[in-house]
């Protein structure tokens, strides 16, 4: 068996496997459109005598973590023919992708799992959940007189992206979008847009939504000011003659809307979403913006990573007073380390989903309580969030 990138002429084989595995069918025109966008260098397959048995897509992306951009490998489209399953092919592809991401300088990886337990075995862990609101129109925030204006049907992706990037930097895990991503992954012909402009003409917020069958569905509600938040909600409330309810998806899990409503008893759902993994821990730590302090710290950490052996072992974590981190290997036993954890726990902690002391309390991190307290001080707090899908 051979693991390699696909060739242009293997588009049909790749698409046939995807359609079977994910249970959809493309029309002839959709197939032609997909063929134009096909990037075989991003698809890795396992071949047996030139027959494609399994595959995954490795997307070269960038994400924000504590306001900095990190190179991220997005895993997508993992598929195997049913007669080839349970033979370790996906395991081989995932291990290969980790090696490839490390070689590419992609220090972190995200994926949307079909099964959380399955991908946890390979070091990915949940790092994001989002809220979904279902709100009757009579429970929308009240209409308000807001300075500024709303403009509908804005399709200028550069303008939308400028607001998005400013908003996205506030979270950990949000994608750095480019024009191609906006055109192919975010906006489609059926999506409505509305932008709030301040009195001086500065765009300060936008919504992406659809109105169908008396229901408003909003997938992105981005605002950079209280005025934008109020203006966009007033815009939605002005649909009261057209709709009976609104569904709002991809809301940060720490969102305060229910508290702000006159009647907070609305239907809410918290949905576990993507998983994340640190691919190259030393390189990730070197770029990571730790919390600055009056003095630096040093902690010894025993890290277990079965599928990325370059991370496995005992390390000395040093963080300077300026928040600069460094990870150096130590040739000592695991028992001599102050703290012990596996790569899933480390990933959830560094990406920002869970705090060190909470993980220590539940024995996901074990060892010295004082050392866990030092980690709590140097790892910044941030809300994880992701509005995209791949």
pLDDT one-digit tens code per residue, 320-332: 999 999 999 999 9
Same domain for 51 and 15: yes
* 181 occurs within a structural domain: yes
- Give the range of the structural domain holding residue 52, as residue numbers without chain letter: 2-106
Same domain for 229 and 145: yes
239-253 pLDDT, tens digit each: 999 999 999 999 999
Mean pLDDT of 38-42: 97
pTM: 0.95
Report pLDDT for 185. 96
Choose one of 272, 306, 333: the last residue of a domain.
272
Domain count within the chain: 3
Hey, what are 376's tokens?
């709590």
336-382 pLDDT, tens digit each: 999 999 999 999 999 999 999 999 999 999 999 999 999 999 999 99
224-233 pLDDT, tens digit each: 999 999 999 9
Would you tell me how many other CB atoms lie within 10 Å of the CB of residue 364? 18
263-283 pLDDT, tens digit each: 999 999 999 999 999 999 999
* 383 occurs within a structural domain: no
Residues whose CB falls within 8 Å of the CB of residue 255, separated by 6 or more in sequence, listed in order: 131
* 125 occurs within a structural domain: no
Choose one of 217, 239, 272: the last residue of a domain.
272
Same domain for 168 and 83: no
Cα dihedral sign, 65-70-76-80? negative
* 112 occurs within a structural domain: no
Task: Evaluate if residue 294 carries a pLDDT over 90.
Answer: no
Choose one of 272, 295, 318: the last residue of a domain.
272
Partners of 278 in the β-ladder: 108
Question: d(Cα 348, Cα 346) in Å, to the nearest integer?
Answer: 6
Query: Is 147 in a helix, a strand, or coil?
Result: coil
């Amino acid at each position: 068996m051979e693991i390699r990138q696909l060739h242009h002429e293997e588009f049909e084989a790749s698409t046939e496997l995807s359609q079977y595995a994910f249970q959809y069918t493309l029309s002839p025109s959709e197939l032609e459109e997909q063929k134009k966008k096909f990037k075989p260098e991003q698809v890795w397959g396992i071949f047996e005598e030139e027959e494609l048995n399994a595959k995954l897509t490795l997307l070269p992306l960038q994400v924000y973590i504590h306001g900095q951009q990190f190179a991220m490998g997005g895993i997508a489209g993992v598929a195997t023919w049913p007669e080839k399953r349970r033979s370790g092919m996906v395991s081989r592809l995932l291990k290969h992708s980790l090696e490839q991401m490390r070689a590419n300088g992609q220090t972190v990886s995200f994926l949307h799992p079909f099964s959380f337990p399955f991908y946890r075995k390979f070091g990915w862990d949940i790092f994001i959940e989002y809220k979904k609101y279902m709100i009757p129109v009579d429970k929308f925030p009240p209409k308000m007189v807001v300075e500024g204006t709303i403009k509908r049907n804005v399709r200028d992706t550069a303008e939308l992206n400028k607001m998005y990037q400013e908003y996205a930097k506030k979270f950990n895990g949000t994608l750095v979008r480019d024009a191609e991503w906006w055109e192919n992954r975010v906006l489609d012909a059926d999506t409505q847009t509305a932008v709030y402009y301040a009195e001086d003409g500065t765009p300060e917020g936008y919504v992406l939504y659809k109105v169908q069958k008396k229901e408003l569905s909003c997938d992105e509600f981005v605002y950079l000011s209280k005025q934008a938040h109020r203006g966009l909600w007033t815009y939605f409330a002005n649909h009261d003659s057209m709709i009976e309810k609104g569904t709002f998806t991809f809301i940060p899990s720490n969102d305060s809307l229910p508290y702000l409503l006159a009647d907070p008893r609305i239907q809410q759902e918290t949905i576990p979403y993507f998983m994340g993994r640190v691919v190259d821990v030393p390189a990730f730590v070197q770029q990571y913006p730790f919390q600055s302090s009056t003095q630096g710290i040093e902690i010894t950490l025993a890290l277990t990573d079965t599928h990325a052996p370059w991370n496995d072992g005992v390390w000395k974590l040093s963080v300077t007073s300026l928040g600069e981190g460094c990870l150096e290997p130590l040739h000592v036993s695991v028992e001599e380390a102050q703290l012990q954890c596996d790569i899933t726990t480390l990933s959830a902690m560094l990406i920002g989903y869970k705090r060190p002391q909470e993980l220590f309390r539940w024995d996901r991190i074990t060892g010295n309580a004082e050392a866990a307290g030092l980690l709590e001080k140097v790892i910044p707090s941030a809300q994880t969030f992701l509005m995209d899908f791949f």
